[in-house]
A = this chain, B = another copy of it.
């Protein structure tokens, strides 16, 4: 199957897994569950599920064992978007071309949607029998997700980002923010399927980490460049939202040219980490190339 079709298939798998794992909108309390589905099911690239399925393909793990992980990752990502968009944080009213959750519902509901979603991700990891892992490995999955999203991960990165707002920031700090805020969860998406193998294979975990480290940073660079250069009609969010929020992104700090060079180096590093596996890592490498394309200069 050509990669682009495989990506489409995995995206559909992720949507089906989310559909299965999220409570029906008719579940009591209805308004909360309707808002939860609005926040999660409203499109999106499903990048974290795609990375998890791609990692599983590389490792020879059957995709049905990854459905729960894919759903949990996307749910944590969705909760973080709902909270980041809130008036007290990024104050974004538009995401993927639709009103953000707190605009479509209200701020209180959006806060509770995020809170409930986070709990739901762990409920999935604790409930999913299709993982087929020894219980020891389930513990590692919970830890991977919690570490990637807590105060030493995503939430910590968002806090650092806020603190840095309107301040002079050096590139090292901006890179650290990138890594925590976005990189750690992308890394978890690549690492978690490794837990499903009793024998993770020679050098697999190390290669996964090396790949994910480069990929995570590179992905945030692409996102920053998009914010600087693309109009809202293309990106689905208001142009210059980061600048409006006085955020000094790594791309803005380096300048577009240097950011593009750094991006190229990170992309090569990510691909290089997978080199020993040749065609076996083909889809993961393709995903990396495809999702790390910088926007055409405006």
Contact = CB atoms under 8 A, between A and B. Distances in A.
B32 A116 contact: no
A232 interface: no
A9 B109 CA distance: 39
Contacts of A127: 143
Nearest to A111: B83
B116 A150 contact: yes
Interface in A116-150: 116, 118-120, 122-123, 125-127, 134-136, 138-140, 142-143, 145-147, 149-150
Given A123-B146, A145-B122, A146-B122, A151 B86 contact: no
A158 interface: yes
The majority secondary structure among interface residues of chain A is helix
A150 B123 contact: yes
B126 A111 contact: no
Interface centre among A32, A33, A159 (most CB of B within 10 A): A159
Given A31-B163, A127-B143, A146-B126, A155 B119 contact: yes
A29 B163 contact: yes
A149 B126 CA distance: 14
A142 B125 contact: yes
A170 interface: no
Given A135-B138, A142-B125, A119 B151 contact: yes
A258 to B, nearest CB: 26
Given A29-B156, A138-B139, A146 B119 contact: yes
Contacts of A106: 88
Nearest to A123: B146
Given A32-B159, A108-B162, A116-B159, 10 more contacts: A27-B151, A32-B160, A112-B155, A115-B118, A116-B155, A119-B150, A119-B151, A123-B143, A123-B146, A126-B142
